[in-house]
Amino acid sequence: MPPLRPLARSLAPLSDESLPGLLLRLAFRLGTSPAELAVRTGLADRPHLAVLPTSLLIGLDRDRRHTFAQMVKAEDDEVDAMLLDTFKSRYPHAQPSPSGRNGLANQQHRWLFIHATRYCPQCLAGQNNPLERAFGGPWKSTWRLPPVFACLEHRRFLEHSCPACNSLVLHTATRSGVRHMPRWRDWGLHPAQCRAFMDGECGHRLDRGSTASRKLPTDYRKFQSFLLDLLRADGPATVEVLGHSTSPAHYFTDLRTACHILRTSWPRSRYLLDSQELMMLLSAGPADKEELSRSTFARASNDMPILAAQPHAALLLAADRLLRPTGPDAFAGHLRILLNEPDLRPSRVGWARAFLDSRPQVSEGFLQAVSTVIETFAKPSLARSLKNPVRRTRFRPEHIPQFLEEDWYRRYFAHMDGVATVHLRRTAALRLCQAASGGSIQKAAARLSLFLSNPAVTARLADSPKRVHRWARTRPDPLEFESAIRDLAAELESRDELINYEQRRRMLTAWSIGPQPWEVIASRIAVPAGGYAPGGGFAIDLSDRKRNTASVILWSLVTQGEHVFAPTPIGDQQDPETQRQWRMGTDAVWSRIQRRITRPTDNQLITALDEYAAYLIPIIDRGTTPPIDASPWT
C-alpha cells in the first residue's frame, strides 16, 4: 500500500463533533465515500474493515490518532476530543473495551449509543456561516451518551429517528452482519440526510426541522445542565449521593444501576415515575417476545438505555431523585418495596442477582443501602452470588464477637423494645459478620463458630435472626435495626485498632481456671453464716462445679461470647448426669447476670472475674495462651 498523504482539502472539526460526523462532512466536501475516506486517512486498511462502533467512536490507538490528525490537517487534541474515551474519567462506560466486544455482549458499552444516535435538527443545520451552510453542522459525540437527552442551546429534547421513514438515525444494522455506518460506501450524500436503506432509500434531510420541536421543561433543563457539568473535564470533582460525597464516575454508575432497578421492578416502580410516555413504554416491554426466553437478553434489555430521549430523561430524573435528595435509609426503603416481591419482568434473573454478578463500581452510599437489603433478606437463589460481601470493610469476621459487646449493645440497640435482648445481640453479631464476609446468615454463623452438635441449641440460634427480621418489619421505622448495624459498622471502620475475638476464642479453647487461682477467688466470696444463701434453701457451692461456672463466665467476658459456646474441660470429666446438672447451674447464673438480678455472691464472683479478665486479655492479644494457674494474684 502506498504511503498516506495529507488530504488536499479538509475541514476544521466543529465543537463537540464526533469522528464519524467529521467523516460524513469531509466525504461530502471531497465527493467520496466515508469508507474510502477512512482508508485514505489511515483509519482502516481496506474499506470493508472500516467499521463504525469501536474503532471510530470510542477510541483509537495513539499512532492511528496521530496519523488521522496529520491526514485531515488537525491537531492531535482535536482528534482526541472527537472520541468517546475523552469522557472515560467521568463516564466509565466510555472506556475502550480490552476485548473489543460491544453491544449486548459488552455490559460496559450497553450504556453508549454505538449503533444509533440522537440528534438535534437545529444543530445539524449548523451556524450561519458559509462552511456550515454548505456542509452542515456537527454530529456531536455527546449525543452518543445516554445522559445527554436534550439540546440546551435550542431548549428541546433530542430526536432519535427520521420523521419521514421513522428509522433509527445512523443505525448500523446491515444485511451482512458487519456493523458499519449505513450506506458506508455511497458518495454524494449530505451529512444531515437520512441514510436508511433497509426498506429503500430515504434521503430525508434531518436538519430541515420537519418535526414539531418538543420543548424542554424547566426541571429537565436544570437536570441536563447538571449532567453536562459532571461530564466536563473541568466539572465538579464530587457529587453528593445518598449522604456521601462521591466521584462523577460513581454517580453515573449509580444512575445507571438505579435505572435498572426501576425497569426491572416495573410495575412496582410506578409510584416513582411521573411520565406517561415512559410508563406506556415499560408496560409494552421489549418488542422481541421470542428473545425473552433467553434470560441474558432480557437482563440486557432492562439494563440498556432507551434511545427515545423524552422517556429516557424521565427515567434518569426518577433515578436521580432516588439518589441525590435522599439518604441510604430512604433509598433502602424503596429497594425493599421494589425488590422483595416476585419478579414480574420476563427475565429469569432478578436485579439483585444481576447486581451481585456484575458488581458495578457504585458509590459507598449506594453499597450501604443495597447491603442492608440484599444481605439481610437474601433468598437461597442468591447464595452463589453472595459469596463475597456487597461492600469491603476494614473489619473482618475475626473482629466480631459471637454475642455483641455489652457497650455496643447499650449505645446502638438498647433503646429498641419489643424483642428479647438475646435475639438482638445474636443477630447484630451475625449481621456484622455477614457484612464483612458475605454469604448468608447461616454462613456468618458458621464463620463465628456458632453451630454446635446440640440440635436444640442450633435451632434456637437460627431462630434469632428470623425473630428480629419479623420484629423489624413491624417497627415504625422498619430500617431502624439495619441503620444501627450500619452506624456500628461505620464506627468499626473508623477504629485504628480492632480486637481479634477469634484469636481469643482459639487461645481459650481448652482453658479453664486452675485450682490455685480458684482458691483466691473463692476466698473473696463471703459465705453467709451457716453456709447458705440469703433466704435459705441452697448451700453456697465453691467446689469444682462453681469453678466450672466461673470459667464459663470468664470465657464470656474475654471473648464476648455466649456461655453455651464456652469450653468446659472441668465439666467434660464428669458423668453425663453431673454434666447436665452443672449446665443447669451455669445457665441459672448466666440468666441472673443477663436479667440483672444477681445475688451478692454473684456480684463478688463477677468482680473477681473482671480483674482476672483484665489480666488475661493483654496476654491473649499478644498471641500467647496463658497457663491455667496464671492469675493477677500470683
pLDDT in tens, 165-223: 888 998 876 544 455 677 777 888 899 999 886 566 788 899 886 556 678 999 999 99
Give per-residue burial for 52-70: e unless 16+ CB within 10 Å, then b.
bbbbbbbbbeeebbebbbb
Position 343 scores a pLDDT of 40
Position 347 scores a pLDDT of 40
Contacts by 29-37 with C-beta closer than 8 Å and gap 24+?
29/134, 29/135, 31/187, 31/188, 32/187, 33/184, 33/185, 33/186, 33/187, 34/181, 34/184, 34/185, 35/180, 35/184, 35/185, 36/185, 36/187
* CB-count exposure of residue 128 (10 Å: 0-12, 13-18, 19+): exposed
**Beta pairing partners, 610:** none
Quickly tell me which residue has 475516506 as its cell.
Answer: 37
Q: Are 108 and 95 in contact (CB under 8 A)?
A: yes
Residue ranges in the chain whose pLDDT is less than 50: 50, 52-54, 102-105, 175-177, 287-297, 342-348, 535-538
Position 3 scores a pLDDT of 73
Please state, in angstroms and rounded to a whole number, the distance separating the CA atoms of residues 486 and 393: 11
Neighbour tally for 581: CB within 10 Å: 13
pLDDT in tens, 572-602: 999 999 999 999 999 999 999 888 888 888 8
Which amino acid belongs to residue 72?
Answer: V
- Least Cα distance to 419 among 465, 376, 352 occurs for 465
Position 105 scores a pLDDT of 47
| Cis peptide preceding 96, ω within 30 of 0 | no
pTM confidence score: 0.78
Position 9 scores a pLDDT of 86
Position 213 scores a pLDDT of 66
List of residues 6+ apart from 459 with CB closer than 8 A: none
Position 537 scores a pLDDT of 42
pLDDT in tens, 7-41: 878 888 999 999 989 999 999 999 888 888 888 88
Please state, in angstroms and rounded to a whole number, the distance separating the CA atoms of residues 263 and 154: 30
